[in-house]
Amino acid sequence: MAAVKEGLRWRPFLQMGVPHMLAEDMEYEGYKFPAGTQFTWGAYALALNEDDFTDARTFNPERFMNEDLNAPLKGHWSFGAGRRVCVGYNVGVNNVWIAIACLLYCFDFAEDPNYPIDEYTTPWDKHDGAPCHVKITPRSQAHVDLIKRESAHVLSMEY
């Protein structure tokens, strides 16, 4: 669960939150906002804020090994916040958990400074100096067979 939460914090899937619009005029801390004003948040700015997350650009699941580990909405903004949090957040969190569990079950991940960065490295990573030199290999032939079998099953499904 810590890896799930860190993944959602470290690279939010929405760079900006879903905007909300005021239905009526509002005043907040001395600022006046007319009806129709839209508010949103910058998910990346919040996720990578060094005041909130020490070494924020580093993937570090250990930061979530605390009393809030099993509180899926604490520590990131991926599903919004407050009264308007995504009603399907449990489905999202569980799907990310299953994906990470499958990856960890089937593959070994090893940091390797000599392993080349390939065309799948995102422009964001190339820009901010955070490319990950990691070698990913299947754990065994049995794992390769499992991946091929399950992939073929999914690809043959009709949607």
Is residue 22 within 8 Å of 35, Cβ to Cβ? yes
Q: Give the global pTM.
A: 0.73
Banded model confidence at residue 120, pLDDT cuts 50, 70, 90: low
CATH code for the domain in which residue 128 is found: 1.10.630.10
Q: 13-22, 28-37, 117-126 — which one is most confidently predicted on average?
A: 28-37
Q: Give the per-residue pLDDT at 118.
A: 58
> Which residues make Cβ contacts (< 8 Å) with residue 86, sequence separation at least 6?
79, 80, 92
Number of domains observed in the structure of the chain: 1
Structural domain of residue 145, as residue ranges? 2-155
pLDDT tens digit sequence for 37-74: 998 888 888 888 999 999 998 889 999 999 999 999 99
Q: In this structure, what is the dihedral angle of CA atoms 102, 99, 133, 51, given to the nearest 10 degrees?
A: -130
Q: Give the per-residue pLDDT at 107.
A: 95
DSSP secondary structure string for all residues of the chain: -HHHHHHHHHS-S-SBPPPEE-SS-EEETTEEE-TT-EE--BHHHHHT-TTTSTTTTS--GGGG-STTTT-TTTT--TT--GGG--TTHHHHHHHHHHHHHHHHHHEEEEE-TTSPP-TTS-HHHHHHT----EEEEES-HHHHHHHHHHHHHHHT---
Across residues 124-135, what is the average pLDDT?
A: 58
